[in-house]
Amino acid sequence: MTRRLTSLRGVSARSAFAAATVVLVAFGLAGTAFAVVLYRIMLASVDSAAADRVAAIAEAVEAGGPGSVDPALLAVDQRIVAVQVIREDGAVVLRSVSAPAAPMVPLDDIDDGLHIAMPQDTTPFGAIRLSAQTVDAAGGRFTVLVGEDASTVASTVRTVVVALMVAGPIVVLVSAAATYLLVRRSMRSVDEIRSRVADITTSDLTERVPVPDSGDEIAALAVTMNEMLARIEAGHAAQRRFVGDASHELRSPLTTIVSALEVATAHPELLTEELATTTLIPEVQRMKVLVDDLLLLARADERMLSTQRDDIDLDDVAAAEAERLRRETTLDVKATIVPVRVVGDAEALSRVLRNLLDNAARHARTAVEVRVIRSGSAAVLTVSDDGPGIPEQDRLRVFDRFVRLDPDRSRSRGGAGLGLAIVREIVAAHRGTATIAGRPGGGATVIVELPIS
């Protein structure tokens, strides 16, 4: 019962009802307009025939009196039912076979001039229309009367109206049925899509909805839903990889800390300042950095990173980070920096430079170079190293999270694989781009372009 009520309230039934209503209203308006126009056209035809007959008889009477009127002008047909020529004293001097011997209307009711389609209810023929004209001839003043039969017009229009009233419900029912069947057929594809979507769960996102071969909006909807499912599947897979990689990265320092604390619990004399400074504190710092990086990337996934909009001297930020690297390493750190000002977040851009320089220092053999220049309406920041470089096929992949091109590299030296991912998110938040290219002579160069305004 519920399913039946639902089907009656469904799109197909509502569409059929709407189509039937529109067709009924349109058919009624069109039929009414057609009947009115038809009536006026037919009536105008009758009036025109009567006017022509009056003019012809009046012309003949005026030229030679009633005796010069052609007998054919007194003939009657379906439109002209009576003809009279009346002298001014009221005597009917000429008339058609069907016309009475007395005037059909009093002459006092007829003014001078031509009068077309005067409705009369008290003629011997009942309610007819009269056309009349008064003329002066050699034998005196005469009035020409021609009676028009409008009943045929009314009968014809009445027949047309009845036919329209009979055809109207048939047209409405046919349009409603056709609309219902067509919409129902389209909704069958929608129902298949809905059923398939209802069966898709997060445990199996490989399913796709069927795409009908109709090539219409429903097919486009199915294609769009499949594209959406593909994006959801990719996002779900990325989330699972992210959670797995994050758990794996956090497990290592936690294991180290737990092991050290267990040893210290069993042997309190081993919990010395050396153990704290060489083992516990470095691992805690490593966890803190990793958690901060994960939180930053999580915020980037939820919504684009929000950055402050301040005027930043990018050359000062680059010079400070280059000086920091010189203090912390024995590498040859070269800096080619020109004054460039951008709009952005100073702390975030410092983190970009720090990540790029630290990443270059991990791979460099002897030297790291940082350059800041202005190119058109963009500030260009490049960080290069003379290390092994990055294969061309991996230059996009290294911006993904937890990506290490050298899986055997020490985690303590190689990091968690989040540095370049963070660089990409921060640069994107500043409406910039980050790419990787080769370095002449060997090594890699990371190129960051930021809009100046």
Q: How far, CA to CA in Å, does 318 sit from each of 167, 250, 335, 419?
A: 85, 31, 8, 17
Same domain, 96 and 37: yes
Q: Is residue 24 part of a domain?
A: yes
Structure tokens at 278: 């060489």
Q: Would you place residue 6 in the very low, low, confident or very high pLDDT band (cuts 50, 70, 90)? A: very low
CATH number at residue 361: 3.30.565.10
Q: Is residue 209 part of a domain?
A: no
Same domain, 44 and 158: yes
Q: What contacts 24+ positions apart, CB below 8 Å, involve 390-396?
A: 390/436, 390/438, 390/444, 392/438, 395/435, 395/436, 395/437
Please write the tens of the pLDDT for every residue from 406-440.
554 444 444 567 778 888 888 888 889 999 998 88
Q: Is residue 211 part of a domain?
A: no
Same domain, 406 and 281: no
* Residue where one domain finishes, among candidates 132, 164, 199: 199
Closest CA to 395 of 365, 434, 342: 434
Please write the tens of the pLDDT for every residue from 33-57.
999 999 888 888 888 888 888 889 8
Same domain, 188 and 227: no
Same domain, 140 and 277: no
Examine the pLDDT at 154 and tell me if it is beyond 60.
Answer: yes
* Residues 70/75/78/80 CA torsion (nearest 10 deg): 60
Q: Report pLDDT for 236.
A: 72
Domain tally, the chain:
3
Examine the pLDDT at 81 and tell me if it is beyond 90.
Answer: no
Q: Looking at the whole model, is its pTM more than 0.75?
A: no
Q: Is residue 208 part of a domain?
A: no
Q: How far, CA to CA in Å, does 397 sit from each of 99, 156, 400, 418, 435?
A: 107, 84, 5, 12, 11
* Domain around 149: 1-199
Same domain, 192 and 249: no
* Residue where one domain finishes, among candidates 300, 328, 352: 300
Q: Would you place residue 211 in the very low, low, confident or very high pLDDT band (cuts 50, 70, 90)? A: confident
Q: Is residue 160 part of a domain?
A: yes
Same domain, 345 and 388: yes
Q: Report pLDDT for 30.
A: 92
Q: Is residue 108 part of a domain?
A: yes
Same domain, 286 and 356: no
Same domain, 97 and 182: yes
Mean of the per-residue pLDDT values of the chain: 81
Please write the tens of the pLDDT for every residue from 308-342.
678 889 999 999 999 999 988 899 999 989 999 99
Contact 313, 434 (CB under 8 A): no
* Residue where one domain finishes, among candidates 282, 300, 318: 300
Same domain, 442 and 344: yes
Contact 38, 155 (CB under 8 A): no
CATH number at residue 263: 1.10.287.130
Same domain, 48 and 187: yes
Same domain, 20 and 75: yes
d(CA 351, CA 349): 5
Please write the tens of the pLDDT for every residue from 384-411.
999 888 888 888 888 877 676 655 444 4
Q: What is the average per-residue pLDDT within 299-316? A: 73
For residue 147, the cross-strand partners are: 82, 130
Q: Is residue 66 part of a domain?
A: yes
